[in-house]
Structure 1
Amino acid sequence: MSLFGEFDIPAEAFALQDTLEELPDVVIEIERVVATEELLAPYFWVNGDDIDEFETVTETDPSVRNLRRLDDFDRSTLFRADWTENTDTIVYAYTHVGATILEASGQYNGWTLCIRFDEHEDLSQFQDYCDQREIPFQLVRLHELTQPRTGSQYGLTRKQHDALLAAYEMEYFDSADVALADVAAELDITPQSLSELLHRGYRSLVEQTLVVTSE
């Protein structure tokens, strides 16, 4: 039975610590991580006012290299980068046991990760790996897969799933009386953040359900 663990970890136990310390208002949301034989290449969204400054600061961050800007939206930009060997922290701990990072969100004060483990034994190995290398983490929640279908099957992160579901349940899509700000208040986020979550959620749903790619 697959396990889903939610962890809080300090900034120094993950990537981009130097960048987040210098830019405390920036929020980074990892969308997915591509693993190769030699390195890990994450795709991540950066939410902030000055993306050019983010790129400049990241040039001297030892945890990443080959930063590439892929897509730009209102206040959110999609990047891809390579994690370097300097990131010998929880980044490589989960690959040691074959687990998968489903979602990660970070600011200057730390990161929140959602990791899937295929077996209970994988979680135990993950904990042992972290303990042996003194990698700090706090397990916030642990649960098993109880539903056969999840939003992640359609490329949705947990935050995108929650935003779309809240908007639907509050009849945001059906009633002109429900404003974006109303749904944002329910989720305790800004209307701008909600707009970006809905936009990326729509995009993922369309890509996973309507777009047909030829061979």
Structure 2
Amino acid sequence: MGDRSTSIIVEFSVPAEEFALYETLCEVPGMTVEVERVVAHEADCIVPCFWTSGENYETFERVAEDDPSIRDLTKLDEVKGAILYRAEWVEDVETVAYTMTRTGATLLDATGEDGQWMLQLRFDTSEGTTAFQRYLEEHELEVELHRLYELTQPRLDGQPGLTDIQHETLVTALERGYYETPRDVSMSELADELGISQQALSKRLRGGHHTLVENSLTVDSPGSEEQGP
């Protein structure tokens, strides 16, 4: 079998001022922003949909309208204490968001709160990862790397590629009996305990389950190249 491409996953944290919504996250403490999906990912713009959870939505919307990192904030939906928005993130050469678009990264997960973002990116080639790192260094962007691994290889440390947030959520769900039959705790109760909305909890659980299955059941074993008859 010929060489197969290997996705590289990079997980890191970054100050909000180097990504997006810095003024909003700083001026409205206690609000959590979780990117749901990116509806457009072009060379010069990123247009995500993101859930927000917290208590002061009126202040969040007022501050976000004037936040220089986004424009065209639009409210899409509201479900049980969480609101879904869409906004275009303004192109800025001095941000990690801009770096993503220039180096071919795919945004897998992004959670912002209290002036910081936790990000998970996927690169299809090692060249993309190298270009991303070089760009960060050239523009002196401050990031804290947490994990970097290849998706098609087993994790050496026994961890299946979960983000810290996903790991915390799944462990808490297990300890509280969410996976028991019948359940010892409802999704609403578990979300309240974690201090997030049910929509955010559902997203974390889906992401964690996807990562566990993908990295535990579809990884290549050493010497697993296709053998002839």
Range class of TM-score, shorter chain? 0.7 to 0.9
Q: Secondary structure at the match of 1:175?
A: coil
Q: State whether residues 17 and 108 of structure 1, in contact with CA within 8 Å, keep that contact through their aligned partners in structure 2.
A: no
CA-atom RMSD, angstroms? 3.2
Question: Do 1:26 and 1:48's aligned partners in 2 also have CA atoms closer than 8 Å?
Answer: yes
Q: Which residue of 1 aligns with 2:16?
A: 11
Closer/same/farther in 2, CA of residues 190 and 22 from structure 1, 3 Å limit: same
| Matched-pair identity in % | 38
- Residues 194 and 175 of structure 1: CA distance in aligned 2, closer, same or farther (over 3 Å): farther
Query: Within the alignment, does 1:40 sit opposite 2:40 as a pair?
Result: no
Distance in 2 between residues matched to 1:54 and 1:87, nearest whole Å:
25
Aligned length: 191
Q: Check conservation: 2:80, 2:198, Cα contact below 8 A.
A: no
* Secondary structure in 2 matching 1:190: helix
CA distance in 2, matches of 1:31, 1:85: 20
Aligned: 1:25 with 2:30 = yes
Unaligned runs of 5+ in 2: 1-5, 154-162, 208-229
- What is aligned with 2:151? 145
1:18-54 CA distance string (max 9 Å, x none): 1111001111111222223542111111111122221
Higher Rg of the two aligned structures? 2
Match of 2:196 among 187, 193, 197: 193
TM-score by length of 1: 0.75
Alignment of 1:46-61 (within 5 A): 46-61=52-67
Give how far 1:76 is off.
Answer: 1.2
- AA matched with 1:106: G
Look up the SS of the partner of 2:101 in the other structure.
Answer: helix
The answer to whether the Cα contact below 8 Å between 1:28 and 1:107 also exists between their aligned partners in 2 is yes
Equivalent in the alignment of 1:151:
none
Stretches (4+) displaced over 6 A: 201-204
What are the Cα deviations for residues 148-172 of structure 1, in whole angstroms up to 9, with x where unaligned? Answer: xxxxxxxxx9967985797579454
Q: How far does the alpha carbon of each residue in 1:166-212 deviate from its partner, in whole angstroms, 9 at most, with x for none?
A: 75794545225x1248x849xxx7255273345557999xxxxxxxx
| 1:118-164 deviation digits (Å, cap 9, x = unpaired) | 111211110001111111111100111148xxxxxxxxx99679857
Match of 1:124 among 123, 130, 138: 130
Separation (CA, whole Å) in 1 of partners of 2:64 and 2:178: 41
Specify the alignment match of 2:78 in structure 1.
72
Q: TM-score, normalised by structure 2?
A: 0.71
